[in-house]
A = this chain, B = another copy of it.
Amino acid sequence: MSTLHAVVMAGGTGTRFWPASRTARPKQFLPLADGKPMLQATIERLAGLCGEDQIWVVAGKKLAKPLTKLLPSLPKERLLLEPEARDTAPCIALATAAIAAADPQATMVVLPADHVIAPVDAFQAMLRAGAAIAQDGETLVTFGVAPTFPATGFGYVECGEPLAGHGGAHAVRRFREKPDRATAESFLQHGGFLWNSGIFVWRVDAILRAMRATDPELGAAADAMLAATQKGEKSTLQRAFLKAPKRSIDYAVMEKAAKVAVVRAPIRWNDVGNFPALGSIAPPDANGNVAVAADGGSCIPLQSGGNIVYADGARTVALFGVRDLVVVAVDDAVLVCPKDRAQDLKALVEHVRASGRADLL
């Protein structure tokens, strides 16, 4: 098997965790689970799977400083900075170019930095199984999580024929965008559908060929990035990145590529899309209150139930007689909203901006 590299995509901005998340401290910097920043937990989850020198982080250049602070041992050359956010396809092209320049047949795992995943051994086993499939130098491998409810917020992967010699893996029949409720329910009844986890593995030569085949504009940009990386031409690399189409890797490549497989992921997986999602990763108290506390934060509820609390920095949130609220308390800001409004938090963030308080974003 060719050398395994891991690319952690840490570019997310995430307004859905405001005011805990900020422009310079997006979601992946928050200790939403495991008691440590999600990005750090993501990297630690790779220990033993690939060498420390094969771990890459991609993020917007605005995050360079906080990333260097969070990950002091990550060498500068493996922190890939995007000149601007252009969705996942250009991000992955940039990382592919960096790895392929050093090792043209390397195997490459791509992971979001802000998912909660356990247990680690099952997670690593599934990545190894995917990497084995990818050694044909053709197949792009994605990982699918068995759905536990008819989620409308995730994409789905429809399984096709089982892959000979690779237990638990299937050819992908089709990718399905975020469905409506009825469609999601039919997926669950049918059975052959998995949540698209956003985790991938492939050989760098395979993804480059697939980019050229499915999205020539993206393929050309990737080739230009590879050439610029090989020559060490930084400004050419940046220009090539900025020419890459602003598309997701699913839309640009995965949905159209010739050979795509899905490996069933026997893991607990949560993309923690908003504050209420903390309710499914942190243990509730007897009244269903969930508190995520960092750096000495705490919660004291009385006659209160079903609330989600995030408190950091030796700050205590006291709840008295309230139900089903999200309460977030950080150094300079507090948010109070009902749980069922938390998915609309972007509207509040825009209102904060419109109120002339961009300093709080």
- A327/B321 contact (C-beta < 8 A), A300-B357, A316-B357, A351-B302 known: no
Range, interface on chain A: 20 to 34
Chain B residues contacting A320 (CB-CB under 8 Å) are: 335-337, 341, 344-345, 347-348
Q: Which residues of B contact A311 (CB under 8 A)?
A: 334
Evaluate whether A336 and B333 lie within 8 angstroms (CB atoms) in the complex, with A316-B360, A322-B325 already known: no
Q: Take A318-B19, A320-B345, A357-B300 as given contacts and tell me if A327 and B334 are in contact as well, using a CB distance cutoff of 8 Å.
A: yes
Measured in the bound complex, the distance between the Cα atoms of B315 and A315 in whole Å is 13
A314 within 8 A of B: yes
Q: Is A319 an interface residue (CB 8 A)?
A: yes
**Is A329 at the interface (CB under 8 A from chain B)?**
yes
Smallest Cβ distance from A24 to chain B, in angstroms?
17
- Determine if A317 is an interface residue (Cβ-Cβ < 8 Å): yes
Taken together, the copies of this chain in the complex come to: 2
Q: Across the interface, do A322 and B336 meet the contact criterion of CB distance under 8 Å?
A: yes
Residue numbers in B under 8 Å from A321 (CB-CB): 337-338, 341, 344
Please name the residue on chain B nearest to A330 by beta carbon.
B315
Q: Name, among A334, A335, A347, the residue most crowded by chain B CB atoms within 10 Å (CB to CB).
A: A334
In the complex, which residues of chain B have a beta carbon less than 8 angstroms from the beta carbon of A357? 298, 300, 316
The answer, yes or no, to whether A235 is at the interface (CB within 8 Å) is no
Q: Is A332 an interface residue (CB 8 A)?
A: yes
Does chain B have a CB within 8 A of A280? no
CA distance A333 to B298 in the complex (A): 9
Cβ-defined partner of A329 (8 Å) among B334, B341, B344: B334
Q: What chain B residues lie within 8 Å of A351 (beta carbons)?
A: 300, 302
Q: Which residue of B lies closest to A301 (CB)?
A: B351
Contact B352 A333, beta carbon cutoff 8 Å: no
Question: Of B300, B325, B348, which contacts A318 at CB under 8 A?
Answer: B348
Restricting to A62-87, which residues have a CB under 8 Å from any CB of B?
none
User: Is A355 at the interface (CB under 8 A from chain B)?
Assistant: yes
Given contacts A329-B329, A351-B302, contact A337 B319 (CB under 8 A): yes
Q: Tell me, rounded to whole Å, the shortest Cβ–Cβ distance linking A326 to chain B.
A: 9
State whether B300 touches A315 (Cβ < 8 A).
no
Contact in complex: A355, B300 (CB < 8 Å): yes
CB distance A317 to B338 under 8 Å?
no
In the bound assembly, the distance between CA atoms of A327 and B302 in angstroms comes to 15
A interface residue numbers (CB < 8 A to B): 19, 298, 300, 302, 311, 314-322, 325, 327, 329, 332-338, 341, 344-345, 347-348, 351-352, 355, 357, 360
